[in-house]
Structure 1
């Protein structure tokens, strides 16, 4: 568990003196990027979406997909193409809790008048609870839990990345499903419907599985996670993996809020699908989100530059 800390300072680029026409909140993860375009009065004008912008998947890719999502939001608002120099950009991106990656990303700003960057968990919890105390559990392609306490203190668990962390996430489940299919192929695990489904998708031989694995990254592993859910009723291993994911995610929530006092919001496709499996005490704390990570990114941006 990472210790409770005061509010962190976002990574910034640009100047508060730079005039802007549009304010944009961006939520970027390992599967997709969403952008919401606001006017100066914080009225939403349009939304757009593009591919992943998790920093661990590449900084050039992240900026490319962010710009695509911004322009898609502008198109949805009927504005045509907008110039980065006219925009203030608030970003909550997966991987931004890595200071080196975050600094390098902000240094590559392609011309936005103002940029404020934090991790997606930070903008997520700000949006989910309207800036008030609360906790957020994100489990989608990756996973992380964050508690936002009184005075803005924060406590984080998870978010260590898909290679050796992100327990309970889509990528984690996908890696476990492939590992099970490999073990079943050589007789170490019983062959059930989950292993057969992985073989049907990737190929039935060791060569097929090794070739797929050699080209796999975070998003590709996460694409196997739906198989675990689909076969949970017919396959004991799939059921076991979902139970393990629930335990990992509950451990994260307990680490950031040991007393279990804060309202909790779930975010991400895996968290939503696992919700009925969580323990009763955790489910009793669940509340509906007041806003999303794009709203939180706008709040981050306004606070940073106002």
Structure 2
């Protein structure tokens, strides 16, 4: 069936966004919801995606049947994992065309307008991708326990570990570490119980406090941001090698962490041309560079 509408979905670890346009790129509706990570919570992620699809069609004044005239591209966190990809093959919304990729792939497409380049997403989680015009090379994206260098979740975990060390006088406490422990009533046991159910987005919630404390001159917070900046630099330098230097930094941490990055990293970063949703819509509109299925490979150092 011929498509009359394009729908892009950007499902991240903190929130999911949807944008519906006509074939000329005119935005008909946008909506946002909760996290949509198909690795950490597959069923909940697809429920949120489905709810957003319904919402944008309602906002646009279109009937649900219009989905059958829509080319849909969903970029979902966790969709890079082979076992999840296999499971997603069973997800069949009633659209004219469907393509499911990872959120980092649509971010890369949006950042460089579909042209070759690379992107490093630093949000709740982190992942990198380089597009050479034929295939993507992915870096990271193996989840909070193994990966997520330079992410908000990892920064939050380091901050809370530091706060616990300060609470036990292993390191010098500060107003910042005191504030973090206050969220758990200054009880390590309360913190321990919280970790049983905490997801990456929960760990990342303290990130604004880290930046605020660093701006106020707290040495602990400044050291934490220096560590995060070093992790981002490690990944960006590898992506530079894979993309001849064209790397864009995207995600919720990209702007606030920029001034903490090494000078050579700051100077070499490219300005994103568009966001992840614009990349999804390029894919949905069969942008020439993506007319054939892009292969994915893992970088080998």
Normalized against structure 2, the TM-score is what?
Answer: 0.88
Q: Which runs of 5+ in 1 are unaligned?
A: 1-17
Aligned length: 288
- 1:22 is matched with 5
Instruction: Name the SS of the counterpart of 1:107 in structure 2.
Output: coil
The RMSD of aligned alpha carbons is 2.2
Structure 2 residue 74 is the aligned partner of structure 1 residue 103: no
Answer yes or no: is 1:298 the counterpart of 2:287.
Answer: no
Going from structure 1 to structure 2, the CA distance change for 1:46 and 1:280 (only over 3 Å counts) comes to same
- Report 1:89-128 matches (<5 A): 89-128=72-111
Identify the residue that residue 34 of structure 1 maps to in structure 2. Answer: 17
Match of 2:156 in 1: 174
Q: Deviations over 1:215-264 (max 9, x none)?
A: 20111111122221111133222111100100101110111223884333
| Equivalent of 2:189 in 185, 199, 207 | 207
**Contact between 1:181 and 1:196, CA under 8 Å: does it hold in 2?**
yes
CA contact (8 A) 1:135 1:148 kept: yes
Deviation at 1:115, TM superposition (A): 1.7
Matches within 5 A, 1:263-274: 263-274=246-257
3-state SS, counterpart of residue 113 of structure 2: coil
Instruction: Output the CA distance in 2 between the equivalents of 1:186 and 1:237.
Output: 15
1:234–1:83 distance in 2 versus 1, CA, 3 Å? same
Alpha-carbon distance in structure 2 between the residues aligned to 1:112 and 1:153: 25
Pair 1:138 & 2:121 matched = yes
Instruction: Determine the structure 2 residue equivalent to 1:227.
Output: 209
Measured at CA, do residues 281 and 82 of structure 1 come closer, stay the same or move farther in structure 2, by a change above 3 Å? farther
Moved more, 51-60 or 282-291: 282-291
Moved more, 82-91 or 93-102: 82-91
Gaps of 5+ in 2: 293-301
Candidates 231, 237, 240, aligned match of 1:257: 240
- Report the counterpart of residue 146 of structure 2 in structure 1: 164
Hey, what's the Cα distance between the residues in 1 that align with 2:232 and 2:195?
Answer: 25
- Tell me whether 102-111 or 86-95 shows the greater mean CA deviation: 102-111
Alignment partner of 1:195 is 2:145: no
1:134 & 1:225 partners in 2: Cα distance?
Answer: 29
1:68–1:260: structure 2 CA closer, same or farther, 3 Å change rule? Answer: closer
Q: Secondary structure at the match of 1:195?
A: helix
Among candidates 16, 27, 36, match of residue 53 of structure 1:
36
Question: How big is the shift at 1:185?
Answer: 2.2
User: Residue 7 of structure 1 corresponds to which residue in structure 2?
Assistant: none
